[in-house]
Amino acid sequence: MRLVVYLLAVCLPVVLSAGGFEEEVFPILQSSCLKCHGGEKTKGKVDFSKILTERDAERHPDLWETVAEVVELGEMPPDDEKPLSEKDKKSFELWHEQFQKMPSEATVPTFRARRLSANEYRNTLRSLFGFDLEVGIARAEQTVSGESSLVLKILPQDPPGSSGFFNDTHSTPISSSLLESYAYLSGVSLDKLFSVKGRASLASMTGKGDDWNGILSLAEAEAFLTFFLPRALRRNVSEEKVQSILATLEGKAGDALVSALKLEMKAVLISPEFLYRGLMANPEEGGRHAVDPFEFAERLSYFLWEDMPDASLFEVARDGGLEKEEKLAQQVKRMLSDPKARNLSESFGVQLLGLASIDDQFKNDPIRLHAMRTQPRDFLNYLFTEDRPVMELLDSNVTFVNQSTSGFYGKDRQRLAPFHKPRGVERQRTMNQRLELRDAEGRGGILTMPSVLAMNHGPIIRGTWMLRRILGVRLGEPPADIPPIKPSPRGQKLTFRQRFDIHRENVTCARCHEKIDPLGFSLDGYDKNGRFLLASYHKRGNQPVIDTSGKLPSGEEFKDFAELKRILLSSKREQVIRHLTSQVLSYALCRKLGKGDQPVVEEITRKVLIQNATWTQLFIEVANSIPFRQTVYKLVKDGTKLEN
């Protein structure tokens, strides 16, 4: 209720002063869209002929997100139709902005089962069995090491879902070939578990000591099932299920018993209950209701760890402790202190900032690649797991440096612990050390990290990256027929920036470039390798050699990147936090957000702003949110399967 009142107070005056759907939007749909999306033709299953009033529009909140995106990116109307006028685009944009701000109750979409992503599956197998499945590869300092995980070598790479994240697997269900891969990997895991190499893991599962001979009896098989099944299915398992499997083992001993047990466990490991997330034991059909404790624990562990719940989380879930906010906060803090929380930076952080591109940039130099790819990941891990403020992503006096990256940090590098290179080794990978920034000029936060600057070389790529990854601004792909930037006219010596100003005079290009260019050229003081060029000794008087000044579309002016960063930390702070909040929520829910999620995003954003909250607090708020704690199930007609 407080949220609704808050939104009413903030939004209602604006809504009343803006044009409504009937006056502003419906005429545009009528003249430009109904030909293909109304009446007899309904391309893409979109029928605007049935949306006549504001109330009709409110019933299709997610549709307008898509419409806004294709209109802004110029993808609709199609090229063979008359384009929308700038006036029509602006009218729709203004209406959509107010439509998004209209007070509404947080909603939860109908549950859709989703399979474990490749990384989730790999981590789950490792936690379940107590060992990883690895392939033998040759490792050398001067070569790029291949993938050592058998799971990740065999399973296809997950494409990003509509949310942009790899854990959003709704659109890529299990195929027959993928099921064959799961069957093979589960067989390899079970073979290893019941071999000499896996004896230590099997002994712990059956309650035996280190001196156990590994010979399985029926009693030990029962102990194994009692331990293994609840962990594999990530919830309590009935005694009847255990006894039904034991019944198939009756009268068997030795190798015959092991073979029968492995067959039963393989069936479990290729079952939907193991391969999919969210299949609650007794779902309630229709209406919004809380997920059961084990589903909640599963959501939390795959969010923070990209892995199954551990024994401690499982126990708290069994006792109903996760329903209490203080218990949940304790678990989140405990989980962030666990080494498995590294997956949060390695997965969410890498996808949030597009850090995988670093690998492409330095793939021919393994030593440098290791330094450049680990620096931002170590920094993100520090922010996520050490309770640091959210905005330290952009401005922090802490970084992580090794021998390969220390040269970017001036006198500060002198405080690094000494490194003694082994005799006969020319270059070697070294671990990052935490470094407090005191004297290094032009550093601090993710935006000026050498690897991020190097992967985004050039002002256009840097500006585009900042808009998309930090400010959450949608940008379309550039047209295919963009002409090259012309050289300086005869007799003139123009900078790249001056030549580009001439190049972007095209009205179509200018709309995006007025957003991109100020941000990108503010970072022109860093070269393509991320080295800071505008150090004090490179300045002539008070005028820097390179023009890094700019003016944002909102009117703020700055003379260099340091001033732009102050703008990002002040007037753009709310926009940055709102974007980061929506990305964390989307990753945690494994789906693209809709209008029903916006009240949650706004409420969390408001709390982060007021409290200058940390990443830990942000994660707790997301875990406490309505869409994370609740669900809506809908059964298909035969009443036996969940809608997928």
Question: Looking at the structure, do residues 67 and 127 belong to the same domain, yes or no?
Answer: no
Of 129-143, 156-170, 230-244, 317-331, the poorest mean pLDDT is in 129-143
Give, as one character, the DSSP assignment of residue 270: T
pLDDT attached to residue 1: 37
Q: Is the pLDDT of residue 482 over 60?
A: yes
Q: Would you place residue 71 in the very low, low, confident or very high pLDDT band (cuts 50, 70, 90)?
A: confident
Structure-token pair, residue 554: 């909102």
Q: How many domains is the chain partitioned into structurally?
A: 3
Write out the residue range of the structural domain in which residue 92 sits. Answer: 2-101
- 421: in domain: no
Specify the higher pLDDT residue, 183 or 494.
Answer: 183
Indicate if 182 and 77 belong to the same structural domain: no
Query: Does residue 272 sit in the same domain as residue 292?
Result: no
Q: Is residue 479 part of a domain?
A: no
Residue 451 resides in a domain: no
The 10s digit of each residue's pLDDT in 175-203 is: 999 999 999 999 999 999 999 999 999 99
Clarify whether residues 273 and 293 are in a common domain: no
HSE-up of 575 (CA within 13 Å, CB side)? 15
- 598, amino acid identity: Q
Q: Rounded to an integer, what is the distance from CA 624 to the centroid of its chain?
A: 18
3-state secondary structure of 332: helix
Same domain? 133 vs 272:
yes
Residues 125, 269 share a domain: yes
- Domain match, 195 and 329 both: no
Question: Is the domain of 210 the same as that of 68?
Answer: no
Is the residue at 151 inside a domain?
yes
In a domain, 129, yes or no: yes
183 assigned to some structural domain: yes
Residue 12, CA distances (Å) to 16, 18, 58, 96 in order: 6, 10, 16, 14
In angstroms, rounded to a whole number, what is the distance separating the alpha carbons of residues 456 and 474? 18
Average pLDDT over residues 81-91: 78
Share of the chain above pLDDT 70, in %: 82
β partners of residue 110: 632
pTM value? 0.86
* pLDDT tens per residue, range 365-419: 999 999 999 999 999 999 999 999 999 999 999 999 999 999 999 999 999 988 7
Cα–Cα distance measured from residue 88 to residue 92, given in angstroms and rounded to the nearest whole number: 6
List all residues 6 or more positions away from 538 whose beta carbon is below 8 Å from its beta carbon.
Answer: 544, 545
Residue 413: CA count within 13 A, CB half-sphere = 13
Q: Are residues 141 and 255 in the same domain?
A: yes
pLDDT at residue 483 is higher than 80:
no
Which two structure tokens, joined as six digits, stand for 206? Answer: 């059956």
Give the tens place of pLDDT for each residue, 305-315: 999 999 999 99
Residue 190 in contact with residue 262, Cβ under 8 Å?
Answer: yes
The reply to whether 72 and 172 lie within a common domain is: no
In a domain, 201, yes or no: yes
pLDDT at 7: 35
Give residue 147's pLDDT: 80
The pLDDT value recorded for residue 77 is: 73
Q: How does pLDDT run across 519-554, given as a tens digit for each residue?
A: 999 999 999 999 998 865 445 555 557 889 999 988
Judge if 65 and 166 occupy the same domain.
no
Q: How confident is the model at residue 55 (pLDDT cuts 50, 70, 90)?
A: confident
Tell me the one-letter amino acid at 39.
Answer: G
247 part of a folded domain:
yes
In whole angstroms, give the CA distance from residue 309 to residue 296: 10
Same domain, 124 and 250: yes
